[in-house]
Amino acid sequence: MIRYQKKLFLFNVWESWFAYKHSFWNLVSLNVCMHIKDGKNKKIPGVRNITHTLEMDLQQDVETIFANFSKQIRQQVRIAENEGTTCYFHQQTEKFADFFNEFAIKRDTFTTSKEKLLAMGDSVKLSFAEHNGHILAAHSYLVDEEMGIVRHLHSATKGWTRIMTGT
């Protein structure tokens, strides 16, 4: 389970992901439970919805995982590799927030901050795709290593033509 505290106006709110640990204080304090994983479909006090998602075994070898991608995605990955696009994980929270917020403002959607990302601690992982030193895409993930769950949080892209023309 991932659990961290955030501010909502003047109130401290605890946000828990993937697992619900029942306690009296969870029922009487300000708590948000997100994407609770429970295969039994039982009712949990204070939890409105239990969500379900696809699961993939990441202990398979890379070739097997890649083979399960659609033909179009495999082709796009090969083209990107041949053109010199590099992908990597790095905890550059300020770089991520700046890139994501530029995207979010243009799309009129929520933004994030370095502080919000840091509040999630080691549970948040950031990935980047770059070409010739220019960021093409950035993603954030919430990772619960204990439960073996990864949840995609943020995604931002900058069009290839914008990188090539500088606009």
How would you write 62-76 as a 3-class SS string? HHHHHHCCCHHHHHH
42 with 68, same domain: the answer is no
80 with 138, same domain: the answer is yes
75 with 130, same domain: the answer is yes
Instruction: Read off the pTM.
Output: 0.68
Of the given ranges (14-18, 102-106, 121-125, 145-149), which has the lowest mean pLDDT? 14-18
DSSP 101: H
Q: For 26-54, what is each residue's pLDDT tens digit?
A: 555 666 666 666 645 566 555 555 555 66
Residue 86: beta bridge partners?
A: 130
Q: Which domain holds residue 48?
A: 1-53
84 with 45, same domain: the answer is no
Q: For 91-128, what is each residue's pLDDT tens digit?
A: 999 999 999 999 999 999 999 999 989 988 888 999 99
CA 147 to CA 53: how far, in whole Å? 14
29 with 79, same domain: the answer is no
66 with 26, same domain: the answer is no
77 with 131, same domain: the answer is yes
Centre a 10 Å sphere on the Cβ of residue 100 and count the other Cβ atoms it contains.
24
85 with 105, same domain: the answer is yes
